[in-house]
Structure 1
Amino acid sequence: MPNLTDTSQNIYRVRVVVPVHLYDSFDYKLSLDQYQQAQVGARVAVSFGRQNVVGIIVEKLPLDAPINPNFQLKNITELLDDQAILDDNVLSLLTWSAQYYQFPIGEVAQTALPTLLRQGKPYNLLARIWRVLDLHADDKIKRSIKQQDAYKILKLHPTGTSENILNLSGIETATLKALEKKEIIRFELEPQNFKPEPVQLAQMPLTANEDQKKAIQGILKAQKKYQAFLLDGLTGSGKTEVYLQVMQEVLKQGKQVLVLVPEIGLTPQTISRFQSRFHCNIALLHSGLNDSKRLQAWQHAQTGKASIVLGTRSAIYTPMPNLGLIILDEEHDLSFKQQEGFRYHARDVALYRAHLENCPIILGSATPSIDSYHLVEQNKLTKLELNQRAGTALMPKMHLIDLKIAKKDHGLSQQLIEEIKKRLHKKEQVLIFLNRRGYAPVLICESCGWQANCPNCDAHFTVHLKPYQHLHCHHCGTIQRIPDACPSCQQENTFKPIGMGTAKVEESLNELFPDYDVLRVDRDSTSRVGSWQKIYDKIQKAEPTILLGTQMLAKGHHFPYVTLVAILDIDSGLLSVDFRATERTAQLIIQVAGRAGRGEHKGDVYLQTLKPDHPLLNTLINNDYRAFAKQTLKDRQLALLPPCRYAILIRAESKSQDENLSFLQQMNENLREVSGDLIDIWGPIPAPMERKAGRYQSHVVLLSLDRAKMHYYIRTWWQNLLHAKPSNMKITIDIDPQELN
């Protein structure tokens, strides 16, 4: 047995993953005292090359582990944590993710840490605890409803409450600071209390219909074991109530629940539903939080203080010691797939995490992905259906408007304008959907036909008029002012915006319906903190309003007063080169349509199209997404397309397309030599958008029926590819790609 006190003969080592783009972990030496204190899953400060970085210990090496004599071991600079902050299951999940998605483990591990911990900041940050100073200050805040609301809540907590909890209750930090300035409240910095709190039921569950009961009972049978469910429910069929009643039973057992939503816009609505049902600590994790609040929420999850963790994509890597249920809402949504850097899919990672944690997982959607239907066929998902809308609400009726023959005004058919008028006169709300932000997608010169194209991409500039007139490329971000004269023919005042973006439709709607509010929801109008929440609050009032927006409006929102939905331009989704385009289009139509008629009044949906005879539209006209999905899966099986074969997309990017194609062709030949006919290789070919941000892009698509063997061959080939590529070329690998652009 080795003598641990004989430091002259023994080298104490730990294996550390560091945030660099290398696929290995690295050994560091440390003293006996450090070795005894070091914990797997804890952070360490180390020197790597010429930089100091924060790494994570993934293994304590035994004293008899072999040492590479050609490698000079460095000392650990500092142990940053006295205990593990990442548990074994999360470390296993990170290791699996790095291997499956072919990405450096050190960079993957960073996904599990909030920014302040990545930077090496201490774990035990102090929390702001706000307390009331003046118990008779009502007269000082008569003019501010926000300050009155905050004051009332704070008076309910005589010993004080944390800023994080107050923010979750809808009280903004700016409101607290305003009260502090008036010397009504003050804060003190105190150590955080991570003790778990009991969960209390704040509101009785709704009465479940038969479909909901079957779903709830089926899921609850799988408590404390792994089973994956696809909750396939029509829009408005009460999927959230199923989630809540299953969560209630899991929370009763002292377990935690992780809920993932595709975008920040869904979190205010979801957290409101959770808070009205449960009195418990809820941690919110998304990119809209500042660093300190994100760390606090992460710590509440990691210590078990938070009973419910609600987050977007990266929250799947959050440590949770008592995880008992995972819910992925709107599972079909493309936002769950990371499209840059570490290209993981949160849905697939969530399934593997549920397996590691030995707990059930629910994938919910009104329009499940074709991938999930395929998993149902393979008996890897258990399908549960909700076939009727909750309460008395009925499915909306869908109508097609043929733009080739319709009379139009401001780009809207006369029939649609009349229908909008009827709804507004009845004090109801209208939702107009157009998946194109900005004022217009193209600017042309009417004199010579010149078009405003991005100099760096194979794309048109989009015209924006606010906050000032400019041209904006939504692909590379280039912004230019609109020229005074045409660059081609030098004529002035000949520019004409072609097509419609949300800003132009907003202008048209204000002209057509000047007596009603038009609320625009897109990335431009909701960029300020809290702006989406203000719009959402307005929509929840029973006042006649026109709601206009992009995909942000299609994702699971409950708008009880919307009775008419209009989809202005869906045709582009029917003409794409991507084989998944019709699936995305079908999902979008059904999801947007599902915002209508969710309250007491019947809903209608109008689709303006130049292709009223398209088979996809005529299938969906009967709200029959499942029939479309069934046929689409058959078509994919015949064509041997994903998910019926497994895919990997290799992207090459440089300033020379010839260099891209030549290099990829050579690497293809190397892959064929080792894999034979196991892998079907498509390409290399130029990408659908050949030039982006001044660089040319090429693709190779790899397909195989045997995922395990394909990954076996790809692992070594990909490492060789990275070493062999020219220094000026960037190559990336996308496992299970969702887009081919």
Structure 2
Amino acid sequence: MPLTPPQPSTEIYRVRVAVPVHLYDTFDYSVSQQQYEQAQAGARVLVSFGRQSLIGVITEKLAPDLPIDPRFQLKTIRELIDQAPILDTKVLTLLTWSAHYYQFPIGEVIQTALPSLLRQGKSQDVLTYIWKITAHPEAESKLKRSQKQYDAYQILKLHPTGTTETILNLSGVETATLRALAKKELVACTQEIQDFTPMPVQLAQMPLTPNPDQHNAIQRVLKSLHHYQAFLLDGLTGSGKTEVYLQIMHEVLKQGKQVLVLVPEIGLTPQTISRFKSRFHCDVALLHSGLNDSKRLQAWQQAKMGKASIILGTRSAIYTPLPRLGLIILDEEHDLSYKQQEGFRYHARDVALYRGYLEQCPVILGSATPSIDSYHLVEQNKLELLQLNQRAGVALLPKMHLIDLKVAKKNEGLSQILIDQIQHTLDRQEQVLIFLNRRGYAPVLVCESCGWQANCPNCDAHFTLHTQPYGYLHCHHCGTIHRLPETCPECHHHTLKTLGMGTAKVEEHLKTLFPEHDVIRVDRDSTSRVGSWQKIYDRIQHNKPMILLGTQMLAKGHHFPYVTLVAILDIDAGLLSVDVRAPERTAQLIVQVAGRAGRGEHKGHVYMQTLRPDHPMLTTLIEKDYRAVAKDMLEERKAARLPPYRYSVLIRCESRDRDYSQAFLQEIAQMLQHQAGDSIEIWGPIPAPMERKAGRYRAHMVILAQDRARLHFFLRPWWAEVIQLPRQHQLRLSIDVDPQEFN
């Protein structure tokens, strides 16, 4: 019988790829049989997309016998970049869930989880820089003129066989200092393939003895180390939340697991990492936007390969692959910085809770002023409440005082009562913190002759006057900068005058009132240089009388042991805002700023200047506490059927044509109402609180629903249809699920 010749295989091998484009689909590509066998979900591939070559990530391997739609011609992948996945299954699941929940393209969502160099297709292999001192007979004499270089050299002497640049950076040695030493031929640098063997974790310092509240919180979390349980650690400012974190972390680290700690701002990482270093001998990976590309990749690799036992980062670190994750801590959980406000608008707090569920590990949300949303989750038994009700050590809670600006005698915006209190505090050799959430010199420039105001031509907002390093007008909303006019542009008189106060103007006035004392301004302008905030923070830690003046940077969890007086100059803006969350944010801000006072041996005092001393929220805050304020707000929200008692989605729309934005929103609102019926309620469309920004007119529409699952059931197909609609006037659309701001 003749042999039948082998038939050619009809199977087509395919992989599904998430491509970094603003399209909501994944795309199928064909691969060879050999590539198919090598390919894994979570690995990168080089693909052709239109006329571009892009780096995508495989999300799925498709069965070879699945039918193919004959209408589409498959492209072949150009290169399989990774032999092993760079994103594990759990992180890929987390990213896919995030893309679906926040209604954002999966290809762009995955970019959030990857360091820049990996997005560009660079190799996963990381070279680490090893620095080592060289034999030089006159080394120390060459360093007499530079204390910084001398200190760095002394640290390097402790590592005769050399050490990594990362460890030196964590020890306070800057890369620029190392390069300066290399120029003098006092140190040498070599490159080696990074060793990902984790360092054994050891205690560098014995833990403190916890008080009863701390002990209870620690024990309740430790009972949940091997499964998912979410906790809200509600502790007064200065009550020792960090010590609770550290003692729980120690137990997790002893089990050979990793701990992910999220903080809201880069500025908090130096002091947080110093606390960790003083307690534990182990590898710590730092992940935030202040790192250059190579250092971020290096830290990411340390985390992914399991070398780093503690991973400390800001918002996007929640998507870092961690092979042995055992605990997630989100400090200052109320902070708005955890919510991404542009593009992929995810909330790191909510993503952290879902990641804890996927990893089956506990999650701790910590704050002295928990968000209303978190208190609501406690009501629903989705968070277990742990409370710390007393300050650690001998520190007492500060006493709050209101100053009625309607009757108080004022001097350049400062009441005489406050000026006297500042002087008394400085005379006692203590420190003062003054909070004003408005940077620049003054928020408004006007002409006294004709009433002209310096307004931004592109926004419904005033220019802010800045005087350093020269006089200029700056719009903090769109970034427009104009020269400061010498005369009024309308009437040409020399009658220009500033209204209101910014931090720079208050700084100038304080230096006049208290010339013998240092006045340190802390805002985005004064801390823009790399390392500038750390230098300021180090100065504050010295027991020397001084005045600290700043914006929200000073309110976020910093420990200032010598501050006994806190002054809040203007809290009325938050009391009068149309944003439903503004009173909550204002109460949190007051408590967080007030919490900087009296953290040492001396009792603190807080003075708040206001035109509304009888405001119910202020009265409750002073007579009771933040928890009472939060309880009142929850009742108000429930009565008004506002979030968190209903789920919300904010649709933002902007174009060059004012009417078109609202007309388009009206059209898509009718589409959704027709599909969803009574399941949802739509507010708007209405103009945004700042209708014109950067030359574009903005309108909003809010979608509300009682049932989250039902809301998303209608939301997903509706939004897919909306983004396909033809648009005019360069219309821009965005969707914000669970919005935190309505600006």
Classify the TM-score, shorter chain. Answer: over 0.9
Match of 2:25 in 1: 24
Give the drift of 1:126: 1.4
Aligned with 2:358: secondary structure? Answer: helix
Paired with 2:466 and 2:8, the residues of 1 have a C-alpha distance of: 68
TM-score normalized by the length of structure 2: 0.98
Paired with 1:112 and 1:68, the residues of 2 have a C-alpha distance of: 32
Paired with 1:494 and 1:197, the residues of 2 have a C-alpha distance of: 67
Match of 2:59 in 1: 58
Aligned with 1:677: secondary structure? Answer: helix
Aligned with 2:698: secondary structure? Answer: strand
User: Are positions 1:598 and 2:593 aligned together?
Assistant: no
Paired with 1:497 and 1:571, the residues of 2 have a C-alpha distance of: 20
Paired with 1:725 and 1:544, the residues of 2 have a C-alpha distance of: 63
Question: Pick from 341, 345, 354: which aligns with 2:343?
Answer: 341
Match of 2:411 in 1: 409
Match of 1:431 in 2: 433
Paired with 1:541 and 1:725, the residues of 2 have a C-alpha distance of: 62
After superposition, the C-alpha distances for 1:84-111 in whole angstroms (9 at most, x for unaligned) are 1100000000000000000000000000
What one-letter code is carried by the residue in structure 1 that aligns with 2:413? G
Paired with 1:363 and 1:148, the residues of 2 have a C-alpha distance of: 42
Cα 1:6–1:260 change in 2 (3 A) is farther
Paired with 1:574 and 1:547, the residues of 2 have a C-alpha distance of: 25
The answer to whether the 8 A contact 1:134-1:183 is kept is no
The answer to whether the 8 A contact 1:663-1:725 is kept is no
Question: Pick from 243, 247, 250: which aligns with 1:248?
Answer: 250
User: Are positions 1:203 and 2:208 aligned together?
Assistant: no
Give the drift of 1:420: 0.8
Aligned with 2:678: secondary structure? Answer: coil
The answer to whether the 8 A contact 1:102-1:733 is kept is yes
Paired with 1:196 and 1:83, the residues of 2 have a C-alpha distance of: 20
Cα 1:6–1:554 change in 2 (3 A) is farther
Q: How does 1:383-398 map to 2 (within 5 A)?
A: 383-398=385-400
Paired with 1:178 and 1:305, the residues of 2 have a C-alpha distance of: 30
Match of 2:383 in 1: 381
Match of 1:639 in 2: 640
Give the drift of 1:61: 1.2
Q: How does 1:551-590 map to 2 (within 5 A)?
A: 551-590=552-591
User: Are positions 1:67 and 2:68 aligned together?
Assistant: yes
Match of 1:125 in 2: 126
Paired with 1:141 and 1:438, the residues of 2 have a C-alpha distance of: 39
The answer to whether the 8 A contact 1:332-1:365 is kept is yes
Paired with 2:639 and 2:418, the residues of 1 have a C-alpha distance of: 40
What one-letter code is carried by the residue in structure 2 that aligns with 1:558? H
Paired with 2:136 and 2:225, the residues of 1 have a C-alpha distance of: 47
The answer to whether the 8 A contact 1:7-1:32 is kept is no
Cα 1:623–1:541 change in 2 (3 A) is farther
User: Are positions 1:471 and 2:473 aligned together?
Assistant: yes
The answer to whether the 8 A contact 1:564-1:603 is kept is yes
Aligned with 1:621: secondary structure? Answer: helix
Match of 1:271 in 2: 273
The answer to whether the 8 A contact 2:330-2:349 is kept is yes
Match of 2:443 in 1: 441
The unaligned stretches of length 5 or more in structure 2 are 1-5
Aligned with 1:723: secondary structure? Answer: coil
CA RMSD, 1 decimal: 1.1
Cα 1:322–1:7 change in 2 (3 A) is farther
Match of 1:545 in 2: 546
After superposition, the C-alpha distances for 1:283-324 in whole angstroms (9 at most, x for unaligned) are 001111111101100000010000000000000000000000
Match of 1:661 in 2: 662
After superposition, the C-alpha distances for 1:475-522 in whole angstroms (9 at most, x for unaligned) are 11111111232122122x211011000000110111111111111111
Paired with 2:141 and 2:8, the residues of 1 have a C-alpha distance of: 71
Give the drift of 1:635: 0.6
After superposition, the C-alpha distances for 1:338-393 in whole angstroms (9 at most, x for unaligned) are 00000000000000000000000000000000000000000000000000000000
Cα 1:331–1:6 change in 2 (3 A) is farther
Give the drift of 1:674: 1.1
Match of 2:103 in 1: 102
User: Are positions 1:481 and 2:490 aligned together?
Assistant: no
Paired with 2:671 and 2:39, the residues of 1 have a C-alpha distance of: 44
* Range with greater deviation from structure 2 (725-734 or 535-544): 725-734
The answer to whether the 8 A contact 1:280-1:307 is kept is yes
The answer to whether the 8 A contact 2:261-2:311 is kept is yes
Aligned with 1:283: secondary structure? Answer: strand
* Range with greater deviation from structure 2 (78-87 or 381-390): 78-87
The answer to whether the 8 A contact 2:14-2:62 is kept is yes
Aligned with 1:724: secondary structure? Answer: coil
Q: How many residues align?
A: 736
What one-letter code is carried by the residue in structure 2 that aligns with 1:240? T
Question: Pick from 184, 187, 194: which aligns with 1:185?
Answer: 187
Paired with 1:467 and 1:551, the residues of 2 have a C-alpha distance of: 22
Q: How does 1:223-238 map to 2 (within 5 A)?
A: 223-238=225-240
The answer to whether the 8 A contact 1:257-1:325 is kept is yes
Match of 2:224 in 1: 222
Match of 2:214 in 1: 212
Give the drift of 1:144: 2.6
Match of 1:685 in 2: 686
After superposition, the C-alpha distances for 1:434-470 in whole angstroms (9 at most, x for unaligned) are 0000000000001101001011110011111112111
Give the drift of 1:131: 1.0
What one-letter code is carried by the residue in structure 2 that aligns with 1:650? I
Give the drift of 1:725: 4.3
Match of 1:720 in 2: 721
Paired with 1:655 and 1:139, the residues of 2 have a C-alpha distance of: 65
Match of 1:153 in 2: 155
Give the drift of 1:8: 4.8
* Range with greater deviation from structure 2 (133-142 or 331-340): 133-142
Match of 1:530 in 2: 531
What one-letter code is carried by the residue in structure 1 that aligns with 2:692? R
TM-score normalized by the length of structure 1: 0.98
Consecutive aligned runs of 4 or more in structure 1 exceeding 4 Å deviation: 5-8
Question: Pick from 287, 290, 309: which aligns with 2:289?
Answer: 287
Give the drift of 1:6: 8.1
Match of 1:363 in 2: 365
The answer to whether the 8 A contact 2:488-2:495 is kept is yes
Give the drift of 1:617: 1.0
Give the drift of 1:146: 2.0
Give the drift of 1:33: 2.0
The answer to whether the 8 A contact 1:679-1:703 is kept is yes
Paired with 2:326 and 2:438, the residues of 1 have a C-alpha distance of: 40
The unaligned stretches of length 5 or more in structure 1 are none
Paired with 2:563 and 2:486, the residues of 1 have a C-alpha distance of: 43
Paired with 1:671 and 1:76, the residues of 2 have a C-alpha distance of: 38
What one-letter code is carried by the residue in structure 2 that aligns with 1:234? L
Aligned with 1:39: secondary structure? Answer: coil
Identity %: 72
* Range with greater deviation from structure 2 (176-185 or 389-398): 176-185
The answer to whether the 8 A contact 1:398-1:622 is kept is no
After superposition, the C-alpha distances for 1:163-207 in whole angstroms (9 at most, x for unaligned) are 112111111011111111111111011111111111110000011
Match of 2:83 in 1: 82
Paired with 1:160 and 1:430, the residues of 2 have a C-alpha distance of: 43
Match of 2:677 in 1: 676
The answer to whether the 8 A contact 2:12-2:65 is kept is no
Match of 1:142 in 2: 144
